[in-house]
A and B are shown apart, each in its own frame.
Chain A
Amino acid sequence: MDKSELQAIAGKERGARKPVCVSCCTAAGCLSAGGGDVMDSLREELSASGASQKVEVRAVGCMKLCSRGPLVRVEDTSDGRPVADGARLYEKIKPSQAPVLIRAAGEGEAAELPMVDLSHPFFTRQRPIVLENCGVVEPERIESYIEADGYLALHKVLRDMTPEEVVKTITQSGLRGRGGAGFPTGIKWSLVAKAISEKKYIVCNADEGDPGAFMDRSVLESDPHRVLEGMAIAAYAVGASEGYIYIRGEYPLAINRLQTAIRTARRLGLLGSRIFEAPFDFNVDLRIGAGAFVCGEETALMASIEGRRGNPSPRPPYPAEHGLWGHSTLINNVETFANIAPILRRGAEWFASVGTEKSKGTKVFALAGKIANTGLIEVPMGITLREIVEEIGGGDPDGQVKAVQTGGPSGGCIPARHLDTPVDYESLAELGSIMGSGGMIVMDDSNNMVDVARFFMQFCMDESCGKCLPCRAGTVQMHGLLEKIRDRRATADDLALLEELCDVVKYTSLCGLGQTAPNPVLSTLRFFRHEYEELLQKEVTLA
């Protein structure tokens, strides 16, 4: 494979395009709403209608507004019309509506079906970088990704740049890890690049475990090659030749698409030996998780890849020095890898121009909960929570927004009065929450904050690996106290004990799961203490 072959594939793909394109979402959200049948009906109807000279049907990835699925987009570029003018997005489509859709598409008209307003802030306020191909390319066809400039960045890196230059570009871009803690990606890469190790590994953490988060799943289902390309670039930069994607077993569709992507990339020589005729080999394997949230923690993840119980180990040593099978290992999450190709293609400066001073680029969130528009959003760092919740999300349809939860079981609840907080690593941390991997759950008055804290504590208790005592026994005790408070059986002494336990578990636990398990309690105590106090028994009853 060389650049001309890559361009030939893209050219052939472009040449085969029809003037009218009917794209059906085939990501898990729409599929669970019946999108698979819609897709089949559209294909059948197209071949029956005889309009296939003019119209094509494409199985694309996530179109973001998951709550209105199944979604079908029709783009009409006949008569040289620009795509944006001729795009229509139909919502909640049923298989029986396929004939109407195909007929209207063939005639260049709008179908008499419910449509989503594409000029709504939900779409216009988004800034797609990671999701630029989401809902556009066909995830199961590598040609479709190549048409969208796929693998060009890898070509550029392998042919024109030294590994040091790649690391420097990533450092200059200001990209920080999207897995939660926000460690600068360039520094992480340079540590692995400098490490002396007989062998090095690249690991993509796709063990998206936060309940209510589905960003990584959407990226993998919609644009899997972007992640492979990012991993290959990272491998070149740090000197690795093997990679693993550790993915949740709960994501069968994403697993399937990744397997297809790896197979087709190998076939075209975009993975394997001597990629683009350069002295660079890179292979990727999947490792399928088996239902353990703690495996998102990097040392536990590595134990799991090695076929062991997902118990975390004390750091240091860090994976950069002592990772998989003792070798230097670079671990980044899906969204981090998905940012790599665009940065290399368009430059560090371009990337650094998006976002805030300390938090560059964009962040993908899975917006859900008590909100009108549930779905996948990508916004520039620095946007306020209010803009996300009220403009993009359309606010709470039934009540008053009370709090926004970010960071899942490691994060916190930000009260409505702080909605003007900009979304960046530092601002969220100041409010006792974290950026996290991108779950954003909106809560209203019907959600009691003590119960929300109890919900997350139950999660941590169930997911604690049991290795270190504070997390194993501490989460059980904290959960018990939270239940006691919720059920109005607790006294002020119980609340004080809960706070003491939060402090102990936070500072003495071995890994991130335990260290952050108290966060949902601490943040709700900070902003909604009255909800706890209202539930306490007022008088001491003497036995």
Chain B
Amino acid sequence: MKVTTLTINGELVSASPGATVLEAARENGIRIPTLCALEGLSTVGACRLCLVEVKGSPRLQPACVTAADEGMEVSTDTDRLRRYRSMILELLFAERNHVCPVCVANGHCELQDRARQAGMDHVRLPYQHPDLPVDITHARFGVDHNRCILCTRCIRVCDELEGAHTWDLAGRGTNARVITDLNQPWGDAVSCTSCGKCAEACPTGAIFKQGSTVGEMEHRSDRIRFISAARARKEWSP
């Protein structure tokens, strides 16, 4: 198959056959912010941070699920997109209780990174302050719903790589929560294999290893890509 040639931010680039716009950008060292996308997992196009402008399309397109087509003209960093991304991040910070200074993932958090990169330094929207639980019934891991951004990476990694499908989403809209089995305490979820992939995949401090204190929870999301490549293509490249 032939490589695809397209324009990103005015620059002519080539992409592997079948690549998405996001992959094409990454292959060429162009950064598009993402949260729900994680290499090695299926894509859902849910966080909307990776929206890009495509010439000729009236709608913004999520780079993670949009195919890079021959001759496509993509802009990834316009004023309008920057404004939207900043507001999306504000919405995320206001939605639950993201208190960085006391978070286990402080300094290792993708949400924090995205905000810093976007220059989003304050939230104009009222904080919703929902009353959310922390579940530490599992012997090795915990889930703090205050930090969850509903990216569904834990659900996908558990279903697609581990095959246990312990996690899913319950409720809907603003009341949606990640759950284990029948919304039981994680420690009682019999389907859980305690593999820990969800903790590695989580972008924030929502799923953590027990015993982590402030700033200690480092997620190794690159392991997800590694396992995925090993499983799918028999390639063990770190």
Contact = CB atoms under 8 A, between A and B. Distances in A.
> Are chains A and B native binding partners rather than an unrelated pairing?
yes
Interface of A: 292, 309, 313-314, 461-470, 472-477, 480, 497, 500-501, 504, 507-510
A476 B48 CA distance: 17
Given A473-B91, A480-B126, A504-B84, 19 more contacts: A309-B172, A313-B45, A465-B173, A465-B176, A467-B150, A469-B46, A469-B48, A469-B95, A469-B149, A470-B88, A472-B174, A472-B176, A473-B95, A474-B91, A475-B174, A476-B95, A477-B126, A508-B48, A510-B45
Given A477-B125, A497-B125, A469 B174 contact: no
Nearest to A473: B91
Contacts of B150: 466-467, 469, 472
B193 interface: no
15 contacts: A309-B169, A314-B65, A461-B173, A464-B174, A465-B173, A466-B150, A466-B171, A466-B174, A473-B95, A504-B83, A507-B60, A507-B84, A508-B51, A510-B46, A510-B62
What size tier do the contact residues of chain B reach?
Answer: 20 to 34
Nearest to A476: B174
A500 B87 contact: yes
A501 B176 contact: no
A309 B44 CA distance: 14
Nearest to A466: B176
Contacts of A468: 45-48
Contact of A467 (B46, B91, B92): B46
Given A461-B173, A469-B92, A476 B47 contact: no
SS class of chain A's interface: helix, strand, loop or mixed? Answer: helix
A497 B88 CA distance: 13
A355 B162 CA distance: 57
Interface in B73-98: 83-84, 87-88, 91-92, 94-95
A463 B91 contact: no
A502 B110 CA distance: 26
B48 to A, nearest CB: 5
A28 B203 CA distance: 50
Contacts of A501: 87
Interface in B116-171: 124-126, 128, 149-150, 169, 171
A467 B44 contact: yes
Interface of B: 44-48, 51, 59-60, 62, 65, 83-84, 87-88, 91-92, 94-95, 124-126, 128, 149-150, 169, 171-176
A383 B177 CA distance: 48
A497 to B, nearest CB: 6
A510 B59 CA distance: 10
User: Of B59, B84, B91, B169, which is in contact with the most chain A CB atoms at under 10 Å from its CB?
Assistant: B91
A508 B174 contact: no
A504 B87 contact: yes
Given A463-B173, A472-B176, A497-B124, A477 B91 contact: yes
Contacts of A497: 124-125
Given A314-B45, A508-B60, A469 B88 contact: yes
A258 to B, nearest CB: 27
A509 B94 contact: no
Nearest to B152: A467
Closest 3 CB pairs between A and B?
A466-B176, A464-B173, A473-B91
A500 B45 CA distance: 22
Nearest to B47: A469
A452 to B, nearest CB: 21
A541 to B, nearest CB: 17
B51 to A, nearest CB: 6
Contacts of B126: 477, 480
Nearest to B128: A476
A356 B170 CA distance: 47
A474 B47 CA distance: 12
Contact of B91 (A313, A461, A469, A507): A469
Contacts of A309: 169, 172
Nearest to A480: B126
A508 B176 contact: no
B91 A470 contact: yes
Given A314-B62, A466-B150, A508 B169 contact: no
B174 A461 contact: yes
Contact of B172 (A466, A476, A508): A466
Nearest to B48: A508
A468 B35 CA distance: 12
Contacts of A472: 95, 150, 173-174, 176
Contacts of A469: 46-48, 88, 91-92, 95, 149-150
A292 B172 contact: yes
A304 to B, nearest CB: 12
